[in-house]
Amino acid sequence: MWIDPVDNFSNNPQGVYRQQWATPVVAIGALVVGGIALGIGAAFTSTDAAGAFLVGLAAVGMWIIAALAAVQRPRLAITHDGSLVMKRLTGIRTYARTDIVRAKIVRYPRLGRRVPMLELDLRPPGEDDDRLIIFGRWDLGTNPQDVFDALEAHGLVPRDS
């Protein structure tokens, strides 16, 4: 006899995502390893106290960035019922198709080239103001254009965007 698992905890639905995007685990692991290397470098730098402090501070910064990226997985997801789920530090937010005001790809200049970013204007129920959420390649783990195409395929991009 097979037993199907049921997840009634609405704040963390497991197995209900059709597609999801997040910072790659390899990138998070690289940040942790880099922080360890910097921490070892700071521990063995005995001649320059200020330098050891700064390198140690950089190690802690890398660990914080890795922890924040790990906590917010998956960053963006599409559920089976067609709603959009975003995981943020303040919690999980779910938006219906009607809550998405605009979705588009904008190219911002970064380091001498134009980098695509996914911009979402959202109006949660009961609020009068829109929220602008911007996702880059780091947040999504893939090209933002691919995520935009998936949102469009699932009908989550308003026609007037």
Confidence at residue 66, expressed as pLDDT on a 0 to 100 scale? 96
Q: Which residues neighbour 124 within 8 Å (Cβ) at sequence distance 6 or greater?
A: 93, 95, 99, 131
Cross-strand partners of 134: 119
Residue in 110, 88, 104 with CA at minimum distance from that of residue 151: 104
Residue in 65, 4, 8 with CA at minimum distance from that of residue 38: 65
Confidence at residue 130, expressed as pLDDT on a 0 to 100 scale? 86
Confidence at residue 2, expressed as pLDDT on a 0 to 100 scale? 55
pLDDT above 90 for 124: no
| Average pLDDT of span 25-48 | 94
pLDDT above 60 for 13: no
The helix (run of H) or strand (run of E) holding residue 10 is none
Confidence at residue 24, expressed as pLDDT on a 0 to 100 scale? 94
Cross-strand partners of 30: none
pLDDT above 80 for 160: no
The helix (run of H) or strand (run of E) holding residue 111 is none
Which tops the pLDDT comparison, 65 or 14? 65
CA distance 139 to 134: 9
| Average pLDDT of span 40-48 | 89
CA distance 139 to 75: 7
pLDDT above 90 for 80: no
CA distance 158 to 85: 17
| Average pLDDT of span 36-41 | 96
pLDDT above 70 for 5: no
Confidence at residue 15, expressed as pLDDT on a 0 to 100 scale? 55
Tokens 């469009």: give the residue. Answer: 152
Confidence at residue 6, expressed as pLDDT on a 0 to 100 scale? 53
Q: How large a percentage of the chain has pLDDT more than 90?
A: 63
Tokens 């910097």: give the residue. Answer: 38
Residue in 114, 103, 109, 113 with CA at minimum distance from that of residue 147: 103
Q: How many residues does the chain have?
A: 161
pLDDT above 90 for 28: yes
Confidence at residue 159, expressed as pLDDT on a 0 to 100 scale? 79
